[in-house]
Amino acid sequence: ELVVPEIPKDFSFDDYVKETAAAVEVALDEAIPVAYPETATEAMRYSLLGGGKRVRPMLTLAACELVGGDAACAMPSACAMEMIHTMSLIHDDLPAMDNDDFRRGKPTCHKVYGDDIAILAGDAMLSYAFEHIARHTPRDKVDPGRTLDILCEVGKAVGADGLVGGQVVDLISEGKAEEVGIETLQYIHEHKTAALLEASVVSGAMAGGANDEAVECLRRYARRIGLAFQVVDDILDITQDTETLGKTAGKDLDAEKTTYPSLLGLDESRRVAENLITEAKAELNYFDDPAKAAPLLALADYILNRKN
């Protein structure tokens, strides 16, 4: 039995989420002002602002706080992670990929601005994310060598050994449900979802001045919550479809898709997710102040128990 650190009784996750999300919202709004050519910046702002749970920037800021760093050191990375996540959603929603009309409760970027501008807004936001880290990570507080380490982490998490790799394997696995086993499924989840969560946590730890041992400990925490995030997503896909009966044509095709529940069943998938979250939280025993670990412990629980 793994022992996990306790969340202090006086910690309010609701307050933490509200305060952190509000700070991230302000920083994102300031990061990409409306400027010429307005079509580009407005399309970026349309998708970036006022939506999303902000899980990735929260992980970045919480990791920085846990290792005793100043939030200002990690905010540029936190914003960059949300920019990259958002651009991946813009591209994922395009007709050439998932062809979705709605995202975060409003029409998708390409529905409003057209496919061409949506592609370009995504490209601009990806490039800008790296610029934002390099330009705004405070050079007097974070060793520029460490900022280069962060840029390496983030670059790897996006490329062919990260998000893009996961999406490619997902695409080429489509319609081949009988050939896709748990190893391929795990590859897809670890790359499409966990890689960016890992880079979010690790960049926050690095910006906060963590030593190598602490960084690797937080990396293991992040990999586990990242995989759990996607196992829970697979579970929610099924349970919410049957609850709402709001199936679309696209969702019907998904019935052919390999998921954790389709391979392991709902109960076993739930156990897998619970074990991953317990293992993730146990990694935080390395840090001796449970009060400082509270946000990462609560975020792990939230990922397991979320309803959307």
Binding of residue 55 to ligand GRG (CB under 6 A): yes
Stretch that binds ligand GRG, among 35-43, 47-55, 113-121, 175-183 (CB under 6 A): 47-55
Binding of residue 91 to ligand GRG (CB under 6 A): yes
Q: Which of 164, 177, 264, 266 binds ligand GRG (CB under 6 A)?
A: 164
Closest C-alpha to 204, from 32, 59, 33: 59
Calculate Rg over the CA atoms of the chain: 19
Q: Which of 18, 53, 247, 271 binds ligand GRG (CB under 6 A)?
A: 53
The structure tokens 């050994």 sit at 161
Residues 217-246 that bind ligand GRG (CB under 6 A): 233
Q: Provide DSSP, 203-247.
A: HHHHHTT--HHHHHHHHHHHHHHHHHHHHHHHHHHHHHHHHH---
Could you tell me where the beta strands, DSSP code E, fall in the chain?
Answer: 102-103, 106-107
Binding of residue 153 to ligand GRG (CB under 6 A): no
CB of 62 to ligand GRG, least distance (A): 15
For residue 138, say if its preceding peptide bond is cis, omega within 30 degrees of 0. Answer: no
Q: Provide DSSP, 125-142.
A: HHHHHHHHHHHHS-TTTS
Residues 119-138 that bind ligand GRG (CB under 6 A): 126
CB of 145 to ligand GRG, least distance (A): 25
Q: Which of 104, 139, 251, 271 binds ligand GRG (CB under 6 A)?
A: 104
Stretch that binds ligand GRG, among 2-10, 30-38, 82-90, 205-213 (CB under 6 A): 82-90
Q: Which of 77, 88, 147, 203 binds ligand GRG (CB under 6 A)?
A: 88
CA dihedral (261, 265, 267, 268) in degrees, to 10, reads -90
Could you tell me where the beta strands, DSSP code E, fall in 69-173?
Answer: 102-103, 106-107
Which residue, 217 or 298, is less far from ligand GRG as judged by CB? 298
Q: Which of 20, 60, 63, 92 binds ligand GRG (CB under 6 A)?
A: 92
Q: Which of 31, 41, 52, 65 binds ligand GRG (CB under 6 A)?
A: 52
Size of the site for ligand GRG (CB under 6 A): 19
CA distance 223 to 297: 14
Residues 168-227 that bind ligand GRG (CB under 6 A): 192-193
Question: What phi and psi, each to the nearest 5 degrees, are found at residue 103?
Answer: -155, 135
Binding of residue 110 to ligand GRG (CB under 6 A): no
Q: Which of 27, 32, 158, 188 binds ligand GRG (CB under 6 A)?
A: 158
- How far, CA to CA in Å, does 10 sit from each of 14, 112, 169? 12, 44, 44
Q: Which residues contact 264 (CB under 8 A, 6 or more apart)?
A: 182, 272
Binding site for ligand GRG (CB under 6 A): 52-53, 55, 84-85, 88-89, 91-92, 97, 104, 126, 158, 163-164, 167, 192-193, 233
